[in-house]
């Protein structure tokens, strides 16, 4: 599965418009970037970083905290709702900016 980032909430880690492979797994840990249905609109998927695991659920947050709607707004998410985690950036292709002379 692939997902396109729409919005600034995960920038600069996952820039808006970038496309990423999602590993469809229930194996994820703290610090992983996970994909799950929006708790307020299940027709949309959200991409956030897993910050903390608690008895009652997972606390997720966007890397761009000033421009993110996350667990600070909608609360903890159910671990069973996680679809997978971001693995690979497909687009844009990032180029190493170092050069040799």
What average pLDDT does this structure show over 13-35?
95
Into how many domains does the chain fold?
1
Residue 25 lies in a domain: yes
pLDDT of residue 101: 42
- Degrees, nearest 5: CA angle 4-41-35: 40
| Per-residue model confidence as pLDDT tens digits over 35-68 | 999 999 999 999 999 999 999 999 999 999 999 9
Q: Hey, what are 58's tokens?
A: 């997972």
Q: What is the largest CA-CA distance in the chain?
A: 56
In this prediction the pTM is: 0.86
Residue 101 lies in a domain: no
Q: Tell me the DSSP string of 22-80.
A: EE--S---TT-EEEEEETTEEEEEEEEEEEEEETTEEEEE-SSGGG--SHHHH--B-GG
Q: Tell me whether residue 52 is in a domain.
A: yes
Domain of residue 64 covers 2-91
14 has a pLDDT exceeding 80: yes
DSSP class of residue 91?
A: E
Tokens standing for 24? Answer: 């469809």
Residue 12, domain member (yes or no): yes
Provide the CATH number for the domain around residue 48: 2.10.109.10
In a domain, 98, yes or no: no
Q: Is residue 99 part of a domain?
A: no
- Position 51 in a domain: yes
Give residue 96's region: left, alpha or beta (phi > 0; psi -120 to 50).
beta
Q: Does any domain span residue 78?
A: yes
């Amino acid at each position: 599965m692939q997902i396109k980032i729409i919005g600034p909430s995960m920038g600069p880690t996952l820039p808006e418009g970038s496309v990423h492979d999602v590993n469809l797994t229930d194996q994820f840990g703290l610090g992983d970037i996970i994909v799950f249905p929006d708790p307020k609109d299940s027709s949309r998927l959200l991409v956030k970083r897993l910050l903390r695991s608690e008895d009652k659920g997972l606390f997720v947050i966007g890397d761009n905290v000033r421009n993110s709607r996350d667990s600070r707004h909608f609360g903890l998410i159910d671990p069973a709702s996680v679809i997978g985690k971001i693995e690979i950036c497909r687009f844009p292709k990032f180029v190493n900016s170092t050069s040799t002379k």
